[in-house]
């Protein structure tokens, strides 16, 4: 027994037999705790528990417990595998501790991936060199000397190309833009979709523009996405010289305020810029909305200017003729229960108007001052949920109407939006009051419509909340 206790391998064997299961339990519990916290250190601990700990115990038993020489091939193989796993652990731990959990805005978060790749390559090269030098006895000094001399020669021969690469890498390190940002460069305007060590890929209207990073580093450009929520577009329009500037500014601002691309909590503005020119400034949610917001604003302005009697691009509008208005009244005559005498009376209180596709004709909660009847096209009624979601209620067609609560002096419960181009007849509230006074059935029809639409709006909201 005394000889056994005096043997050097005995204590190593007992230490491995006791320490291995204890460390295995501790690492297992640590891994479970880190997994519950969604920590980036789960993978390094997993490597330590599954690979490094068993390989380290096996290596200790071979060398210290069984007293196998470190020069034998089995020991060298186990030591090599152990060294490679330790190298993987260092790479994984370095990435998890320094970069994956880095706070936004710090240098660790901004560092380009190319620098990480170079650091990984250098660490792997050093680790492999140490493994071959200390485990297999290889002479790696000459190899590093040759690589160093070759690097100097290549650097001198390719100094211009290397200089461009370095400029690009410095640009990446500074990170004046990120993936998804919209940039305006002298050569392209679009969204950044890819950034690598050599070039930046910008998605434009005409295709994918690939710009070398060294070019971006040597010229000025605009990041349209920074600061967030500060992007605006300016749209110029021309009206007739006789159009009142205040009326024009009010019209343009009102149209811009109804755009779905408008940034929440912001307000557009319009200023006359001299002569017949006006500039409308519209804060939009992101540069991605530029083209669609500009197109929709100009299209809606064309219709709104004609409804208001203003002259966009100094053009006159001859749509609302007496003949068209008479034809329109014949379309809605059954809805209003009009007689021949009533049509001639309503003619003096009616006005024909057109609306663009997707234009909002009525807002929930507003108090209408007139009733509007659909002559051509379709109108969709909808309500908005608390989270801003649009919930459709029903679709109106030819002969239907909106603004029915103008008679009761109540606010409407639904919003209305044109599905396509819509032609409508506006009739003043006073004229409608005269019609219902002479025709009680018309009053019943309007009252029934008011109740039905309120009920439909409540059902739509209830169904959306389920």
Whole-angstrom distance, CA of residue 168 vs CA of residue 369: 63
Question: What are the pLDDT tens digits along the chain (466 aa)?
Answer: 445 555 666 667 777 778 878 888 888 888 888 888 887 778 878 888 888 788 878 777 777 767 677 677 777 788 888 887 887 777 777 776 666 665 655 555 556 566 666 677 777 777 777 777 777 776 666 655 655 555 555 555 445 555 556 666 666 666 788 778 888 888 888 888 887 777 888 988 888 888 887 788 777 888 888 777 678 899 999 999 999 999 999 999 999 999 999 988 889 999 999 889 999 999 998 888 888 999 999 999 999 999 999 999 989 888 888 888 888 988 888 888 888 778 888 888 889 999 999 999 999 888 998 999 999 999 999 988 877 788 889 999 998 999 988 888 888 888 999 999 999 999 998 998 888 888 888 889 888 988 898 888 888 888 876 5
Strand order across the 379-384 sheet:
360-362, 415-418, 379-384, 390-396
The per-residue pLDDT for 145 is 63
Whole-angstrom distance, CA of residue 127 vs CA of residue 143: 14
> Tokens standing for 351?
């006005």
Domains 176-223 and 322-465 share a fold: no
The per-residue pLDDT for 1 is 47
Closest among 344, 346, 335 to 404, alpha carbons compared: 335
Architecture of the domain spanning 232-307: 2-Layer Sandwich (3.30)
The per-residue pLDDT for 177 is 80
Tell whether pTM > 0.75. no
pLDDT digit string (tens) for 309-342? 999 998 988 888 888 888 898 888 888 888 877 8
SS (H, E, C) the chain: CHHHHHCHHHHHHHHHHHHHHHHHHHHHHHHHHHHHCCCCCHHHHHHHHHHHHHHHHHHHHHHHHCCCCCCCHHHHHHHHHHHHHHHHHHHHHHHHHHHHCCCCCCHHHHCCHHHHHHHHHHHHHHHHHHHHHHCCCCCCHHHHHHHHHHHHHHHHHCHHHHHHHHHHHHHHHHCCCCCCCEEECCCCEEEEEEECCCEEEEEECCEEEEEEHHHHHCCCCEECCCCCCCCEEEEEEEECCCCCHHHHHHHHHHHHHCCCCECCCCCCEEEECCCCEEEEEEEECCHHHHHHHHHHHHHHHHHHHHHCCCCECCCCCCCCCHHHHHHHHHHHHHHHCCCHHHHHHHHCCEEEEEECCCCEEECCCCCCCEEEEEEECCEEEEEECCCCCEEEEEEECCCCEECHHHCCCCCCCCEEEECCCEEEEEEEHHHHHHHHHHCHHHHHHHHHHHHHHHHHHHHHHHHHHC
> Tokens standing for 297?
């604003």
**Which residues are CB-neighbours of 178 under 8 A, at least 6 positions away?**
192
How many CA atoms lie less than 13 Å away from 185 in the CB half-sphere?
25
pLDDT digit string (tens) for 16-51? 778 878 888 888 888 888 888 887 778 878 888 888
The per-residue pLDDT for 398 is 92
- At 112, give phi and psi (nearest 5°): -65, 155
**Cα distances (angstroms) measured from residue 172 to each of 2, 113, 122, 220, 368:** 67, 9, 20, 15, 56
* 265 Rama class: left (phi>0) / alpha (psi -120 to 50) / beta: left
Q: Hey, what CATH topology would domain 176-223 get?
A: SH3 type barrels. (2.30.30)
Domain-by-domain residue ranges, the chain? 2-111, 176-223, 232-307, 322-465
Give the CATH superfamily of 322-465.
Jelly Rolls (2.60.120.10)
The per-residue pLDDT for 375 is 93
Whole-angstrom distance, CA of residue 48 vs CA of residue 42: 10
CB 280 within 8 A of CB 234: yes
């Amino acid at each position: 027994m005394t000889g056994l206790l005096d043997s050097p391998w005995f204590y190593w064997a007992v230490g491995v037999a006791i320490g291995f299961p204890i460390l295995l339990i501790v690492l297992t519990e640590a891994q479970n705790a880190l997994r519950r916290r969604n920590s980036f250190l789960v993978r390094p601990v997993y490597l330590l528990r599954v690979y490094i700990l068993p390989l380290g115990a096996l290596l200790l038993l071979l060398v210290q417990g069984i007293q196998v020489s470190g020069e034998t091939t089995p020991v060298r193989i186990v030591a090599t595998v152990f060294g490679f796993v330790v190298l993987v652990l260092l790479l994984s731990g370095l990435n998890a501790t320094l970069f994956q959990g880095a706070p936004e805005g710090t240098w660790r978060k901004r560092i380009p991936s190319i620098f990480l790749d170079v650091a990984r390559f250098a660490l792997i090269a050093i680790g492999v060199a140490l493994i071959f030098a200390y485990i297999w006895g290889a002479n790696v000094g000459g190899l590093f000397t040759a690589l160093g001399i070759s690097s100097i020669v290549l650097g001198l021969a390719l100094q211009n190309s290397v200089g461009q690469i370095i400029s690009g890498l410095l640009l990446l390190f500074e990170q004046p833009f990120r993936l998804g940002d919209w940039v305006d460069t002298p050569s392209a305007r679009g969204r950044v979709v890819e950034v690598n060590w050599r070039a930046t890929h910008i998605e434009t209207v005409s295709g994918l523009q690939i710009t070398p990073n060294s070019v971006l580093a040597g010229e000025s450009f605009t990041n349209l996405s920074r600061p967030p929520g500060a992007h605006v577009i300016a749209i110029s329009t021309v009206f007739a010289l006789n159009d009142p500037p205040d009326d024009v500014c009010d019209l343009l601002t009102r149209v811009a305020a109804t755009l779905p691309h408008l940034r929440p909590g912001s307000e557009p503005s319009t200023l006359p810029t001299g002569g017949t020119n006006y500039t409308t400034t519209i804060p939009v949610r992101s540069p991605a909305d530029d083209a669609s917001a500009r197109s929709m604003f100009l299209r809606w302005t064309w219709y709104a200017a004609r409804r208001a009697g203003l002259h966009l691009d100094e053009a006159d509008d001859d749509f609302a003729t007496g003949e068209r208005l008479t034809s329109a009244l014949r379309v809605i005559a059954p809805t209003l229960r009009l007689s021949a005498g009533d049509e001639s009376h309503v003619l003096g209180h009616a006005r024909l108007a057109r609306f663009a596709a997707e234009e909002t004709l009525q807002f929930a909660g507003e108090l209408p001052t007139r009733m509007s009847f659909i002559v051509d096209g379709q109108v969709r009624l909808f309500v908005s949920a608390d989270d801003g979601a649009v919930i459709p209620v029903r679709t109106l067609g030819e002969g239907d109407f909106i603004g029915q609560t103008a008679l009761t002096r109540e606010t409407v419960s639904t919003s209305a939006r044109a599905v396509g181009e819509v032609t409508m007849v506006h009739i003043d509230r006073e004229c409608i009051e005269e019609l219902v006074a002479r025709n009680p059935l018309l009053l019943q029809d309007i009252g029934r419509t008011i109740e039905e639409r309120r009920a439909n709006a409540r059902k739509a909201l209830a169904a959306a909340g389920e």
